[in-house]
């Protein structure tokens, strides 16, 4: 009896096929026993658990980060949230930076406390104070979440010092979406898990929303159980786009590093610019940490103008090249005034808690734009006398 099945027709394509299958079949009972019951054979089971396109991109992501294992998710937030849900339980205490990504901060302030997790928040602007706080809490902590560079000011954390004061048993998670390898290797400096929004540099084309967790195999295995159970998964096409992006990841990062430094240097010499926050500049508050931890400073340049929120908005409106949008690592140059896009619902006290001035502009350079054109555009927008 022959069954009506279509076999994979080619097995010699250079680029692996994109798997878009909701489910996977078993040939017969023997196959079920080895593939499903005993798991002695690599075989698909069901689309929520994994597919070969994910597995391929996860292997590549592990090589990129120097990690034991990686998982992809439907978004950066899905990766972050699933990690916390998997590793925390009621009664656990965790420490987090006040300067975390806004939605991550929402998870800390609005979601995890509902489930009995106690969240301690500290600013990372003063490195020593942050490390002292970790030392005080150390033995009571289950997990420390870090994010570096932070947005919008590109603040860094002395992650090795944090590891030193909390000891080996506290889990350290690190969101380094702003500095993926090769700019920063979180796992080499004491982090157990590195997390990324692959929507940003890793995806690199502004056309996917995806997330990644890489790191210690025992922790990744726990997180995978939660991904299997709760389903925050990317599909095969998203995984394939991410795989293709990784071929050019190093090239794009190298270009972002060059563009970012050029623009940061230009801006810091302009009279209308009050401050520039770029870790590659000596006057960045965490320049010394950058020297220790970063191999490049990326394509996001944040600066404050001398002027009011409205004057600053008029400057942004005068720019011709950037799209006004909240993203980075995309082909196009994007610009956002922090208090008008990301933090528009924050009042003065909330802005104060994260040190964001109303004249703050975050410019995310796009690798398809010529950096000289962008600088010329900044010049005309700064020098215009409205």
Give the binding site for ligand PLP (CB under 6 A): 75-77, 101, 104, 147, 175, 177-178, 197, 199-200, 209, 211
**Least Å from the CB of residue 328 to ligand PLP:** 7
Per DSSP, the residues of 331-380 read: SS-EEEETTTTTTTT--HHHHHHHT--TTEEEEE--TTS-HHHHHHHHHH
Cis bond upstream, residue 308 (ω within 30): no
Cβ proximity to ligand PLP, 103 vs 142, nearer residue: 103
Cβ proximity to ligand PLP, 243 vs 266, nearer residue: 243
**Least Å from the CB of residue 341 to ligand PLP:** 13
Q: Which helix (H) or strand (E) holds 218?
A: helix 217-230
**Least Å from the CB of residue 118 to ligand PLP:** 22
User: What token pair was written down for 99?
Assistant: 């300067």
Per DSSP, the residues of 59-109 read: HHHHHHHT-SEEEEESSHHHHHHHHHHHH--TT-EEEEETTS-HHHHHIII
Cβ proximity to ligand PLP, 336 vs 377, nearer residue: 336
**Least Å from the CB of residue 203 to ligand PLP:** 8
**Least Å from the CB of residue 249 to ligand PLP:** 16
**Least Å from the CB of residue 199 to ligand PLP:** 4
Helices H / strands E in the chain, number of each: 13, 12
Cβ proximity to ligand PLP, 65 vs 197, nearer residue: 197
> SS3 of 304, please?
strand
Cβ proximity to ligand PLP, 76 vs 204, nearer residue: 76
217, with CB counted inside 10 A (0-12, 13-18, 19+), is: exposed
Q: Cα angle vertex 280, ends 279, 281, to 5°?
A: 90
**Least Å from the CB of residue 176 to ligand PLP:** 8
Cβ proximity to ligand PLP, 200 vs 358, nearer residue: 200
Cis bond upstream, residue 358 (ω within 30): no
- How far lies 381's CA from each of 153, 221, 338, in Å? 22, 51, 18
Cβ proximity to ligand PLP, 51 vs 104, nearer residue: 104
Q: What residues contact 22, with CB distance under 8 A and at least 6 apart?
A: 46, 47
**Least Å from the CB of residue 334 to ligand PLP:** 12
> SS3 of 322, please?
coil
Q: CA 17, CA 366: separation in Å to the nearest integer?
A: 29
Cβ atoms within 10 Å, residue 35: 18
Cβ proximity to ligand PLP, 273 vs 300, nearer residue: 300
**Least Å from the CB of residue 104 to ligand PLP:** 6
Query: Which candidate, 296, 303, 312, 322, places its Cα nearest to that of 180?
Result: 296
Q: CA 132, CA 144: separation in Å to the nearest integer?
A: 13
**Least Å from the CB of residue 31 to ligand PLP:** 37
The residue sitting closest to ligand PLP, measured at its beta carbon, is 76
């Amino acid at each position: 009896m022959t069954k009506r099945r279509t076999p994979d027709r080619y097995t010699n394509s250079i680029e692996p096929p994109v798997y878009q299958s909701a489910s996977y079949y078993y040939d017969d009972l023997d196959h079920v026993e080895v593939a499903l019951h005993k798991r002695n054979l690599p075989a698909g089971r069901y689309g929520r658990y994994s597919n070969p396109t994910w597995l391929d991109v996860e292997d590549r992501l592990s090589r990129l980060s120097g990690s034991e294992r990686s998982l992809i998710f439907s978004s950066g937030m899905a990766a972050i949230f699933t990690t916390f849900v998997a590793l925390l339980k009621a009664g656990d205490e965790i420490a987090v930076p006040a300067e975390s990504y806004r939605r991550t901060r929402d998870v800390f302030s609005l979601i995890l406390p509902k489930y009995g997790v106690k969240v301690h928040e500290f600013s990372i602007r003063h490195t020593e104070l942050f490390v002292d706080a970790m030392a005080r809490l150390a033995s009571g902590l289950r997990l420390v979440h870090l994010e570096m560079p932070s947005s919008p000011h590109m603040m860094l954390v002395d992650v090795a010092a944090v590891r030193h004061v909390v000891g080996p048993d506290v889990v350290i998670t690190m969101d380094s979406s702003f500095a993926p390898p090769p700019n920063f290797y979180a796992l080499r400096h004491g982090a157990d898990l590195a997390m990324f929004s692959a929507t940003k540099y890793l995806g690199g084309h502004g056309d996917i929303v995806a997330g990644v967790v890489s790191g210690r195999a025992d922790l990744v295995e726990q997180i995978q159980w939660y991904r299997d159970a709760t389903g925050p998964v990317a599909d095969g096409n998203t995984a394939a786009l991410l795989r293709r992006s990784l071929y050019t990841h190093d090239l794009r990062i190298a270009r972002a590093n060059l563009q970012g430094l050029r623009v940061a240097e230009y801006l810091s010499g302009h009279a209308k610019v009050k401050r520039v926050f770029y870790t590659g500049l000596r006057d960045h508050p965490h320049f010394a940490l950058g020297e220790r931890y970063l191999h490049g400073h990326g394509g996001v340049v944040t600066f404050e103008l001398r002027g009011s929120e409205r004057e600053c908005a008029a400057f942004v409106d005068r720019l011709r090249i950037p799209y006004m949008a909240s993203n980075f690592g995309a082909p196009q140059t994007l610009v956002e005034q922090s208090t008008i896009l990301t933090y528009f619902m924050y009042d003065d006290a909330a802005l104060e808690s994260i040190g964001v001035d109303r004249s703050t502009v975050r410019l995310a350079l796009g690798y398809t734009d010529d950096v000289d054109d962008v600088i010329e555009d900044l010049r005309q927008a700064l020098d215009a006398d409205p």
